[in-house]
Amino acid sequence: MLRNFESHTSYQENLKLHLLLFWETDRGRVTDMEKSISKLYLLNLDPLLPIIKPLYSNTGCPAKNQLGIIRSLILMLDQKHHGITNWAKKVANDPLLCAICGFQYGKAPSVGSYYDFIKRLWKASHKIHVAMKKKLRPFKPKPRKKLKAGQKLKPKHNGIVKKFARIAMRDALPEYRPEQIFQEFLARCVVDVSAKMGILGDVQKLSVAGDGTPFYSGASHYGTKVCDCKKHGVYDCKCPRRYSDPDARWGWDSYREQWFYGDTLFNITASDSPYDLPIYLRKAQASRHDSILAVFAMSEVRKLYPDLCIRNFIADGAMDNYPTYELMYHWNIIPFIPLDAKTKQTLTKLPPGIICLDDQGRPICKGGIPYEDCGYSYPKGIKYRCYFDCHDIENLVNVPIHLMEGLSI
């Protein structure tokens, strides 16, 4: 259960009283931390109460200082510290840091309280994560094949984007979001406030941009060997091994034109904002294609911000596919996506006998009749055939009326 959920107004009043004292005794340090103090003073964490409360039971030993732990973690990152253990000890022994975080000096939470709170915020089983670290997995070396400049990896499975787009239209996408609490924190405490301040743009016709960026892992892709091949003189074995980062995969960094080992951080930003403020963050495997992540991301953004009316969606060529366009049309969103390099075709380079393409991308013959879609022909792409040849029609009498209207002979 929760206890001592201090309101933001009360925190601000107590902080001002403490700063008056430290201004007289340690003025230089207060001045050096002015920006960090201002950030926490303005950050209202009151909207987090309905989000954090379900993480605790209604009985048992009461938890306290949860908001203070959040402020402490934010202050830790703002002060360029990255070790929770050392930081927790430093805060507990520093009266100024305790006051900034909202702790009572001498009663600051221990290191265990930090990790317990973080484990509650991450909505995934800790036991499963530990089991994945201990599980032996096959070794996958760094891919040797390099892609061309600006080229992106293709989805592993054909038609997977179309499958998820159809499910998204029914609002039935599977929701596995361990980072959901952090997304709610960003939405309720930061983005909603920014929307009220008017720095996101027009919330009634908001323009957003989505893209993925490489998130390099600090773990080694070689893993930890558990076999005895080394004793037998075999040093380059491919035996299964343990990995400290079980979620990391190989992915292609199209900007740096190199392979990387880690994850993909997909983010959606308010493109009309003068500050390019992010409104959504999601981490996925590096091998996951951006077109798949875009479907999940846009579906979750619409649920996360029911009061925002998204009008325009800006993305790169990785999202250039018909399922994405159909999904955006279903949501009444206008997509601004450049054509993929392989799909760009000028009218002068169209195959012989083709005058143009219709609104569905089908070739139109000289008679004004669209070709029939005959499925996917790997590796060339979609295969089209003449309507008469596809339906084995030799006499124009058997041609449907709606096609005869566009026929010119």
The answer to whether residue 154 is domain-embedded is no
Query: Which band of pLDDT confidence, cut at 50, 70 and 90, is reported for residue 333?
Result: very high
Pair 247, 299 in one domain: yes
Q: Which residue has the higher pLDDT, 132 or 347?
A: 132
Percentage of the chain lying above the pLDDT 70 cut: 92
User: Same structural domain for residues 40 and 181?
Assistant: no
pLDDT recorded at residue 192:
95
Q: Which residues of 139-176 are buried (b: 16+ CB within 10 A; e: fewer)?
A: eeeeeeeebeeeebbebeeeeebbebbeebeeeebeee
Which contiguous run of DSSP H or E holds residue 197?
Answer: helix 192-197
Q: Is 220 in the same domain as 308? A: yes
Tell me the pLDDT tens digit for each residue of 170-188. 999 988 888 999 999 999 9
Half-sphere exposure of 17 (CA within 13 A, CB side): 8
Domain boundary among 92, 121, 150: 121
Euclidean distance between CA atoms 270 and 206, whole angstroms: 7
Region of poorest pLDDT, from 83-97, 218-232, 338-352, 368-382: 338-352
155 within domain boundaries: no
Higher pLDDT, 397 or 120: 120
> What is the pTM assigned to this prediction?
0.81
Per-residue pLDDT of 241-274, as tens digits, reads: 999 999 999 999 988 889 999 999 999 999 999 9
| 11-20, 32-41, 139-148, 339-348: segment of lowest average pLDDT | 339-348
Tokens of 89: 């000890």
**Considering 317, 336, 355, which residue would you say is the last residue of a domain?**
336
- pLDDT tens for 100-140 read 999 999 999 999 999 999 999 998 888 888 898 899 999 99
Considering the domain architecture, whether residues 192 and 173 belong to the same structural domain is answered as yes
128 assigned to some structural domain: no
- In a domain, residue 83? The reply is yes
Residue 150 lies in a domain: no
pLDDT above 50 for 406: no
Pairing state between β 381-385 and 372-377: antiparallel
Has residue 288 got a pLDDT over 80?
A: yes
| Structure tokens given for 115 | 């990790």
The number of beta carbons lying within 10 Å of the beta carbon of residue 362 is: 16
Q: Which one is predicted more confidently, 357 or 297?
A: 297
Co-location of 164 and 95 in the same domain: no
Lowest mean pLDDT among 88-92, 166-170, 394-398: 394-398
Report pLDDT digits (tens) over 381-391.
778 888 888 87
Residue 82 included in any domain:
yes
Evaluate whether residue 44 is within a structural domain: yes
Share of the chain above pLDDT 90, in %: 63
Residues 105 and 200 in one domain: no
Clarify whether residues 94 and 225 are in a common domain: no
399 and 331, same structural domain?
no
What pLDDT band is residue 407 in, cutting at 50, 70 and 90?
A: very low
Task: Tell me: do 73 and 182 sit in the same domain.
Answer: no
pLDDT grade for 395, boundaries at 50, 70 and 90: low
Q: Is residue 249 part of a domain?
A: yes
Q: Are 149 and 256 in contact (CB under 8 A)?
A: no
348 confidence band (pLDDT: 50, 70, 90): low
pLDDT, average across residues 57-69: 85
Domain identity same for 191 and 321? yes
Q: What is the pLDDT at residue 400?
A: 61
Geometric angle at alpha carbon 80, from 36 and 94, rounded to 5°? 65
342 contacts 318 by C-beta, under 8 angstroms: no
Residues 10 and 103 in one domain: yes
Identify the domain containing residue 99 by its residue range.
2-121
What is the count of structural domains for the chain? 3
Indicate the average pLDDT of the chain. 88
What confidence score (pLDDT) does residue 270 get?
96
Confidence of residue 409 (pLDDT cuts 50, 70, 90): very low
Mean pLDDT within 78-90: 95
Using the 3D structure, point to which of 121, 140, 170 is the last residue of a domain.
121
Same structural domain, 268 and 367: no
Q: What is the per-residue pLDDT for 404?
A: 47
